[in-house]
Structure 1
Amino acid sequence: MGQLAVAMLVGLAFVSFAAAVIYSAVRLKEEVPDEDREYLDPLPKGLRLLWPLLRLVDYHVCQRLPQRLLAGPAESLRLSGLLYLMSPTQFLALCLVSMAGFLGLAIVAFHVIDFDSALALAAAAGFGFIYPRVWLKDSLKKRQKLMVKALPVYLDFLTMGVEAGLNMAGAIGQAVAKGPSCPLKNEFAFVLRDLRSGLTRAEALRRMDERVRIAQVTSFISAVIQAERMGASLGPTFRSQADQRRTERFQLAEKLAMEAPVKLIFPLVAFIFPVTFLVLMFPIAVKFMQSGAF
């Protein structure tokens, strides 16, 4: 009878604790204000599932962090073009949720395989915290690669527009209207918006340079600003920049092709050569064993 009473008390305590946790979570969620994403980028499918939890952590934890901790994520999000997807505090919330998720998975996995190591758990938590930053860095590299690839095409559009008699704003407008869809198209759209709002061409292009920070774009903007100061025609400037960007792409392709044999040395030595020697030597070893040499 005493054991039954103890079991009932333990069960009641567990139910009370679970009810308190659920009640607290509901109250905390109700305090989070609604989010208007009408003018924001749509969320990816995986991130959409985690978004309510991210907003909960963001509102109650990350928005209370000092501003100096948000400068780095804000700059990375801006350069990656993801500042219209999430705020810096939401990105930090993603890091915390990812850390907790990887830590929970590690605890379950280590429990299944009967492995106990505080260092391994700390490593799993650290990897979970760093993983969103790796994803952000990969998004930045992908965006920069797309912009560098599309730059000669847009320079051709600008060249044709200027040589046809359009001014800078008109040429950019035609490039944005008829150019391929890519991050560079959005950046030129921002330049066109800045020009229509009253900024000079130099100021609008400098703002674009600050947003992207790509060497090829910086070179193009510097050449345009220099041509404008010297009173030179923009058509030849755009054409020479397009030719130079294509030459750089061909040179980069040649460089990567020359690096390929060097990069193949380690896989060959570590994986392919041992398997090849094993396949060749196995029949010889079997014959020696059958002949009694071993």
Structure 2
Amino acid sequence: MPAPTSHTAHPDLRADCGDCFGLCCVALPFARSSDFPVNKSAGTPCGNLQDDFRCAIHARLRDSGYQGCTVFDCFGAGQKVSQVTFGGVSWRDEPGSARTMYEVFPVVRHLHELLKYTAEALDLAAARPVRAELRRAYDRIDALTRQAPDALLAVDVDAVRGEVNPLLLRASELARAAVPGRKKNHRGAHLMGARLRGARLRGASLRGALLVAADLSGADLRDADLIGADMRDTDLRGADLTGALFLTQPQLNAARGDAATRIPKNLERPAHWAA
């Protein structure tokens, strides 16, 4: 299938719970912590999962102690596995397929995350020199997600990621090269709790940076590369993330912001952020 030309036209890379068999609520484990109020093992349905595969407390997950659910995104893998890989037959209808379905889900989720990043890179005007390679990578990954369950379980996700990451990095470098001035490099930096209020980080690389509880309030993060950055409890109040590269909804959901925080147009302002 040809790669789409705009990531805003990627409904298949957005979670559609209505077409999913509640896979994130069943396949994945979680432990009692500040993110979850109870323990749940992999393959065991969450107590809040209803017969129609909907969450009974979806509108009040945070208030109920399920903050971890609000920062998870399958990037459309749930409906792909439910409707394509297993042809619309649920683990309830065919219990014998349940274990395989649960094992396939995280594989497809990782691949869909890579598809999301690749699609975004394809949208970057500055990435034109690597667009043909990005399109081929997109098509290869998309084809992988459409394989039969046994073939999917044999996919080496790390190897696929290793092939795509250099292209994503090059696309990022090309896009950030247009930003005036010297760009800071905090790739993989340990900035947990760092005081970076008002920091000038436009066009910076924060790939894989540990930004847990960092104070980035009022910071200039325009055009910064945030792929893989850990933004749990990061203070983004008043920060400007316009044009931020590879920023995802789960990263925003995990952070703290307010009405003054500027975010990319393709993302939504989290409901729990301060007014």
When you count helix as a share of all residues, which structure comes out higher? 1
Question: Under TM normalisation by the shorter chain, which class is it?
Answer: under 0.3
The TM-score with structure 2 as length reference comes to 0.25
Greater C-alpha radius of gyration: 1
The TM-score with structure 1 as length reference comes to 0.23
